[in-house]
Amino acid sequence: MNAVTIRHILDTIAEMFPDAHCELNHRNPFELTIAVLLSAQCTDETVNKVTVGLFDKYRTPQDYLNVPLEELENDIRRIGLFRNKAANIQKLCKLVIDKHDGEIPPNYEELVELPGVGRKTANVVMSNAFGVPAIAVDTHVERVSKRLGIAKADDSVLEVEKKLMRKVPRDEWTLTHHRLIFFGRYHCKAQNPKCDVCPILEHCKEGKSRMKAALKKRSVSS
């Protein structure tokens, strides 16, 4: 895909979702880290419902360590993998206190050392909490990038991230991450993407083949 086409796609998606932003509610880097950790295999909407009460009860890393693990599990039990996530939250809080004076470290290498924090979470925290450009590749970003042909179908998450970083100007990484998420969440959905009204259909192989298949189905049934 050439640079002109990429530019056109980025501009079109920006026009469609001018207000794209992080949808996980948080007030500081620590809350954002906890929210992203909780969001693995779970919708932002569910995480936000849980964090309303959670962030009220637990304000500091020490607060999470002051309760038995079972109590924390119970407080997040509406979230998938809650046992695993509760254990990681307590380990993360301990490390943040022991090694970082109770603060989330503002650099990538130390972030990925925290239990439950992988590449995607670290990128989200770096970009949203500390203003460092980053493209976090979640399920929406991966799917959209592959459908559009920005990345190949069998590329790993890391390969998708690297391709996006090469093709998108650095000062647009963070916004592009949010816009691709909105585009994937509300338009190019996993099931039933809106190809028939998609303004970038002409650049999308997947969309074209879906439209062709839909036309064929219609002509067979009529």
- Out of 138, 152, 171, 216, the active site residue is 138
- Measured CA to CA, the distance from residue 157 to residue 120 in angstroms comes to 9
Residue type, position 167, single letter: K
Structure tokens, 210: 């879906």
- Measured CA to CA, the distance from residue 27 to residue 61 in angstroms comes to 14
The residue among 67, 75, 83, 139 whose CA lies nearest residue 116 is: 83
Per-residue interface string for the shown chain with ligand SF4, residues 143-182, x marking contact by CB under 6 A: ----xx----------------------------------
Residues 124-143 that bind ligand SF4 (CB under 6 A): none
Q: How far is the CB of 44 from ligand SF4 (least distance, A)?
A: 20
Q: Is 93 known as a binding-site position?
A: no
Residues 80-119 that bind ligand SF4 (CB under 6 A): none
Cβ pair 176, 135 in contact under 8 A: yes
Does the active-site annotation cover 154?
Answer: no
Number of residues that bind ligand SF4 (CB under 6 A): 13
Q: Closer to ligand SF4 by CB, 31 or 206: give it.
A: 206
Residues 177-216 that bind ligand SF4 (CB under 6 A): 187-188, 193-195, 198, 200-201, 204, 206-207
Q: How far is the CB of 197 from ligand SF4 (least distance, A)?
A: 8
> Does 13 sit near ligand SF4 (CB under 6 A)?
no
Residue showing tokens 């839909």: 214
Long-range CB pairs of 52-58 (<8 Å, 24+ gap) are: 52/25, 55/25, 55/26, 55/27, 55/31
Q: How far is the CB of 193 from ligand SF4 (least distance, A)?
A: 4
- Out of 120, 155, 162, 171, the active site residue is 120
Q: How far is the CB of 29 from ligand SF4 (least distance, A)?
A: 33
3-state class (DSSP) for residue 164: helix
- Measured CA to CA, the distance from residue 54 to residue 200 in angstroms comes to 41
Q: Closer to ligand SF4 by CB, 148 or 175: give it.
A: 148
Give the number of other Cβ atoms within 10 Å of residue 220's Cβ: 7
Cβ pair 30, 62 in contact under 8 A: no
Q: How far is the CB of 17 from ligand SF4 (least distance, A)?
A: 13
Structure tokens, 198: 């998609």
Does the active-site annotation cover 138?
Answer: yes
User: Which residues are catalytic, by number?
Assistant: 120, 138
- Contact footprint for ligand SF4 (CB under 6 A): 147-148, 187-188, 193-195, 198, 200-201, 204, 206-207
Q: From the annotation, which residues make up the binding site?
A: 188, 195, 198, 204
